[in-house]
Structure 1
């Protein structure tokens, strides 16, 4: 939080950005409109897959997304014929090892699950830890902020799996990952819906406003906030899960983000602490059983 406050103080006095890169169908590009809404044209990716395990219930593999700006590591589990796909964006400190049972459970119920090790988390994918100040400098110079590259990575994962399985793909994320997933679902209309767990806005936009910021710094800060995109996810569904005593992201902040979404939307209080857990899994699967039925 202290780093973000320092960022705001610095950025508000930075010379205004002269303009966004133009968008064409042939060239990877991004733009941010006057309301702070991001649009991206993502570079195509290629993939390399290594099967790690397979039985009658599911197959687990390591899938590398080869992008023009570096490799992004993912882990995929899937049954033979999935009913839908979850593109899962983890929060800080989440490792793939903590999702082994979850991947089996979703596959056994009929869903594919891909864990995206996003840039800068300190995992297998390279990149810098999320730093709005550094990303704003890139934005100011017309280069790609890492945040925007991550949105393209998430969208690319959706595209790869939609083509492979031919079923709906949902953007799902916990904590910080829920923030990225919300932006991705808003930017990419081909996501079937959004699930946010223990998440809320970053608070950057409010901080910039509180420092008297306007123009391009405000536009950039707004482009990072989940609430900028939640209203536009409709008519696709939004589900949000939060614990009333969450010690990391307050319950009230989660409710405030949820309030910005349009119908259809569902807010569910779950048992636990912070982030995805078995209770959240059960509640997601109960919700989706009403859509896709139970596995026969």
Structure 2
């Protein structure tokens, strides 16, 4: 007969091996018959390095440790922000072009989190959006594996949870160009986002291209799940702001208007000076819009 001590020792050994062999949580997805994505995003952990701090704001580099690699983010925030921004950049946009913007928003009372999205050419690994990624992600979709595109949406959702827990304030999904597409999907999938701001953005056009090529069934369902237009109407009754320059050389003005037309109320379309992508005029208009929402109440 085993002694009590030997039984306890065995239980300890089993517990140790259970901890070593247990599978970590994985994100899961489903796409319904009309192509609408649903996500359950696995918990993440973060590590943070403070880069600068003064009386107005603190700037830090945050690494989000996910099930499929690290995602780099940069945060500028006052001690008690009125609201927070999860910013998804356009293709090739890096932090350098947003340093002043982050300070501008933090100084106005808003936390600004720059997410270096997967495949954008920055510090976070991944494949840029294009034919290679679409083919790879469709293969993963067909085999029940998590596409990179869906992982990017989970990254934005996880960032929202992080800022919401940290500050307990409204968190908005904001993005420029390609980033505006990811941000629209995230805001439509996750009801915890307070609203959405899209700049110089539209649908990808993948679904339309496949329809023209007479694809049906799963390819169309997958392509539909990628399109921001599938989700922008699901953001309502949370607010939507769409910014577009009337002489945009990359995403035509009319494409921006068509995208805006798919959104539900309340929604606002604003023309800005410039050509393509977020710029100081967009910053000014966002801050003007939000000043009316977050002005001190007497």
**TM-score of the pair, normalised by structure 1:** 0.90
Matched, 1:139 2:141: yes
Aligned to 2:11: none
1:100-133 CA-partner distances (Å, limit 9, x unpaired): 1111110111000000001111110011122211
Structure with higher Rg: it is: 2
Distance (whole Å) between structure 1 residues aligned to residue 172 and residue 128 of structure 2: 25
Distance (whole Å) between structure 1 residues aligned to residue 165 and residue 192 of structure 2: 12
Matched, 1:230 2:229: no
1:25-48 CA-partner distances (Å, limit 9, x unpaired): x75210000110000000100000
5+ residue gaps in structure 1? 1-25
Give the 3-state SS of the residue equivalent to 2:234 in structure 1: helix
Give the 5 Å matches for 1:130-209. Answer: 130=129, 131-209=133-211
2:89–2:176 contact (8 Å) kept in structure 1: yes
Give the alignment's Cα RMSD to 1 decimal: 1.1
1:68-121 CA-partner distances (Å, limit 9, x unpaired): 110000000000110000000000121101111111110111000000001111
Distance (whole Å) between structure 2 residues aligned to residue 150 and residue 156 of structure 1: 10
Distance (whole Å) between structure 2 residues aligned to residue 253 and residue 294 of structure 1: 37
Distance (whole Å) between structure 1 residues aligned to residue 296 and residue 199 of structure 2: 23
Aligned to 2:9: none
Distance (whole Å) between structure 1 residues aligned to residue 195 and residue 215 of structure 2: 33
Which structure carries more relative contact order (alpha carbon 8 Å, separation 6+)? Answer: 1
Give the 3-state SS of the residue equivalent to 2:105 in structure 1: helix
Aligned to 1:21: none
5+ residue gaps in structure 2? 1-24
Aligned to 1:80: 79
Q: 1:59 deviation in Å?
A: 0.5
Distance (whole Å) between structure 1 residues aligned to residue 121 and residue 107 of structure 2: 30
Distance (whole Å) between structure 1 residues aligned to residue 104 and residue 231 of structure 2: 30
Distance (whole Å) between structure 1 residues aligned to residue 88 and residue 207 of structure 2: 22
Distance (whole Å) between structure 2 residues aligned to residue 28 and residue 119 of structure 1: 16
Q: 1:264 deviation in Å?
A: 0.2
Give the 3-state SS of the residue equivalent to 1:205 in structure 2: helix
Give the 5 Å matches for 1:277-288. Answer: 277-288=279-290
Q: 1:294 deviation in Å?
A: 6.4
1:119-158 CA-partner distances (Å, limit 9, x unpaired): 1111100111222111101101111110000000000000
Give the 3-state SS of the residue equivalent to 1:201 in structure 2: coil
Aligned to 2:39: 40
User: Where do 4+ consecutive residues of structure 1 move more than 3 Å?
Assistant: none
**TM-score of the pair, normalised by structure 2:** 0.89
Aligned to 2:21: none
Aligned to 1:248: 250
Aligned residues: 270
1:185–1:193 contact (8 Å) kept in structure 2: yes
Residue from 248, 270, 273 that aligns with 1:271: 273
2:26–2:67 contact (8 Å) kept in structure 1: no
Q: 1:214 deviation in Å?
A: 1.1
Give the 3-state SS of the residue equivalent to 2:33 in structure 1: coil
Aligned to 1:122: 121
